[in-house]
Amino acid sequence: MAHFEKPLSSETRFEGRVFTVTVDKVELENGRTSTREVVHHHGGACIAALTDENEVYLVRQFRYAFGQELWELPAGKLEKGEDPFAAARRELGEECGLTAEHFVDLGPVYPTVGYCSEIIYCWAATGLAPCDMHLDEDEFLTPEKVPFDKAVEMVLSGEIRDGKTVAALLKIKALRDAGKL
């Protein structure tokens, strides 16, 4: 039998530009009730741009919540109802100044399952070509090509800590090792 929690009520406590927060009352499978605080997010899309020279494009970007610059794959949040694949392609152009000919769907990542509904959709891209890079006016980042094997080492050493980046890079490595990418 699958585990479940039955929603009983929901109250919106915060509604912002990026997410909404609700406090929900749920019935547990044992019949008791509990409270769930949920961050509702439209999700995001990320893309691993892989060069013919076995490099991957990463971006360095300051993340205010952590007070530090982090290494990440190019990514962005989805607008309500936006197609994740279109968003991933847009972010590749905006953040790295690239387009691609071929794409591999790496599947979704659920980065914070305990309290957030965000899903990040991930792709790998090959057959890269330059285009105009055009960051949002409040976006500051630096794209860099990194040898793919070094990027995996950066994940394993803890230098890359961003969840979507860790998941996508390790999935690409596993697919390559299995001869599927």
pLDDT tens digits for range 76-89: 999 989 999 999 99
Task: Tell me the percentage of the chain whose pLDDT exceeds 70.
Answer: 100
Catalytic residue among 53, 91, 137, 159: 137
Q: Average pLDDT of the chain? A: 97
pLDDT tens digits for range 29-61: 999 999 999 999 999 999 999 999 999 999 999
- Say what the pTM is: 0.94
In terms of Cα–Cα distance, which of 6, 8, 11 is closest to 40? 11
Would you state the structure tokens that stand for residue 20, as one six-digit string?
């909404």
Please give the domain boundaries of the chain with CATH numbers for all domains.
5-40 (no CATH), 42-177 (3.90.79.10)
- For residues 9 and 42, what is the distance between their CA atoms, to the nearest angstrom? 21
- For residues 143 and 58, what is the distance between their CA atoms, to the nearest angstrom? 6
CA angle 97, 85, 64 (to 5 degrees): 65
- Judge whether 11 counts as a catalytic residue: no
In this model, does residue 126 exceed pLDDT 90? yes
- For residues 29 and 15, what is the distance between their CA atoms, to the nearest angstrom? 30
